Every structure is written in structure tokens, then in C-alpha cells.
Amino acid sequence: MLQTFDIGIDLGTANILVYSKNKGVVLNEPSVVTIDTVTKNVVAVGAEAKEMIGKTPEKIMAIRPLKDGVIADFDVTTEMLKQIMKKASKKMGLALRKPNVVVCIPSGSTSVERRAIQDAVRNAGAKKIILIEEPVAAAIGAGLPVDEPVANVVVDIGGGNTEVAIISFGGVVSYHSIKIGGDRLDDDIIQYVRKEYNVLIGERTAENVKMEIGYALIDHEEAFMDVRGRDLVTGLPKTVKLSSYEIRNAMKEDFLHILEAIRATLEDCPAELSGDIVDRGVILTGGGALMNGMKEWLSKEIFVPVQLAESPLESVVLGTGKALKYVGKLVTVAR
């Protein structure tokens, strides 16, 4: 029997979330670390570190140690996890001890990537580690009956990647994973503003533009936003007015890649489960699911019902939390 201080971790490219069996989601912090490049010491982790992006002196560097859903910088990830687990244990009111941890991994991750995640979590102070595939966790967190022999289709649009999976009887029947997520859409906006207006904007500004006037649906009421950046010709600050239509156009290619991944997964679905998909539809999770008009756009394109999970941002970590209750089954789910 697992003890009360066991935790579930959603190790996301954009955010790290921690779930406690007794208190629910206890922590939701950006996956950002700031480091002093001279002393190699960690200056800040999470929300505090994100505030520093693009604003630090030369010797302080803001790093996102996770890229496309996997570990890009092992040492920094380990340090970040240590700090996150300390923060979580404080919030749970527990002395810091070695917890058993359930961690999500992308479905398409290699054995090397999985080993890196296990090692980083173990080095951060975990005792026993169980891996669960992200789409399975998202489906559990969205309240789908994953252990029944029916098709549950999950589209998880995260910060670093998009995972599409059909889950039945506790396992992944068909899946596609692409390295396109919220970060890539932010980059689309940065490149568009640079090319079209000769103005350089930062990551956080691009993210704000995406959240405010980013639309997946082509037909929508046009919205505008003033954005400040640096003029690449004069080097001086400059304000430009952006339209939601041009932002939709800037992100168009990546939306089509996401759509392609969904179609490919549905095409790989066994015939027996296809009927379930028509009846039950698709569940959208992850931060990208909150994009304006995403649900409506996808249901138009794939001709099946599309539902938004109750808590899209927390579905994966809620799934790891619920999975703590049946670890025996979970071990068979994590490959």
C-alpha cells in the first residue's frame, strides 16, 4: 500500500505540476531555472525564474531544461526537481523524505529518454519511480474509462509536443507524437513579427499574443493587440498593432501538422474501435486545448465530436494522482 506522501509529477516542457493524494494539485510552476553562469548556482526556479526570462544580466541565464517533452539538460533538470519537490513537501506540510513518485513520459520517448527521466527523479530524492505514458495519464485525469475495452481518444497539446492516442483496456492502441506544441506556436509569432514588421519580440510577449488573440478557428471576430518590441533597423523600442487574422495565418502550418497527427492516429485505429470514436468523440487536454476556437476548429475538420477536458492544464497530473491508487495496473500500462 502506498503511503500518503506519495506524489505524481507531470514533467512538462512549459510547466511542472505536482499532485498529492490527500491535497490534490499542490504545485504548478513553470519549467524554468535561472543559473549564475559563474558560480553555477541555481538562482531561482519556477514562477520566479520565468519572470526573469529576457531580463537578466549577462552572468544570470534563464534555462528551460526540458525540450519537446524530454530532458535537454540533465543536471539542471535534477536541480529543478529537487527544488520543486522541496516546495511541494512544504505545501503538503511534510518533512522531506524519499517519496514514491509516478511520472509521465511522452508515448514516443526512447528507452534512453525514459532512463534519463528516471535518473533525474531518483537524483532529486525519489525512492521508487513508476512511469506512465502521458496520454494514458491525460485520459485518466479527464475521467475516461481507460480500463474498459472502448476507444478513448486523447489529444494532448502541451508546451513541447502534441500527443494523440487511442487508449483501450488500459493501454495505448494507436498513437502519434509530434514535436509541435505551445512553444512552437510562440516561435511562429516571433518569426512572423520579425519578418513582417522588422520588430523583435520576446518569448513572453509572443505567449501573451497567442493567449489573447491566437485563434485556431479561421472564421472568428477579428481582434487586435498592441505589442512592444525592438525595431531591428533603428534598435529603438517600437509598438506594432497585430490582428488575430495575421496571427492565425502565422500559426497555420503547425495547426495543420497537429491535424495531420490526429487524422493519422484515427486512420490507424482498429475497425472494431472506430464506432466508439464516432459515438464518444475526442477529448482535448493540455494548455494548447485552451487556444481560442481549438475545439470548434477540430470538430469541423475531423467530423467527430470534440470535448474539452474539465481541467485541460491539470489533466495529466490529475491522471498520475489517480493512478497512485492502482499502481499494480499502472506498471503494466507503462512500457
Residues belonging to the binding site are 13-15, 207-210, 287-290
Is the Cβ–Cβ distance between 329 and 309 less than 8 Å? no
Q: Which residues are annotated as a binding site for ATP?
A: 13-15, 207-210, 287-290
User: Which amino acid is residue 74, in one-letter code?
Assistant: F
Q: Which of 146, 139, 153 is nearest to 276 (CA)?
A: 153
User: Nearest CA to 7 among 333, 323, 328?
Assistant: 323
In three state form, how does the secondary structure of the chain look?
Answer: CCCCCCEEEEECCCEEEEEECCCEEEEEEECCEEEECCCCCEEEECHHHHHCCCCCCCCEEEECCEECCEECCHHHHHHHHHHHHHHHHHHCCCCCCCCCEEEEECCCCCHHHHHHHHHHHHHCCCCCEEEEEHHHHHHHHCCCCCCCCCCEEEEEECCCCEEEEEEECCEEEEEEEECCCHHHHHHHHHHHHHHHHCEECCHHHHHHHHHHHCECCCCCCCCEEEEEEEECCCCCEEEEEEEHHHHHHHHHHHHHHHHHHHHHHHHCCCHHHHHHHHHHCEEEECHHHHCECHHHHHHHHHCCCEEECCCCCCHHHHHHHHHHHHHHHHHHHCC
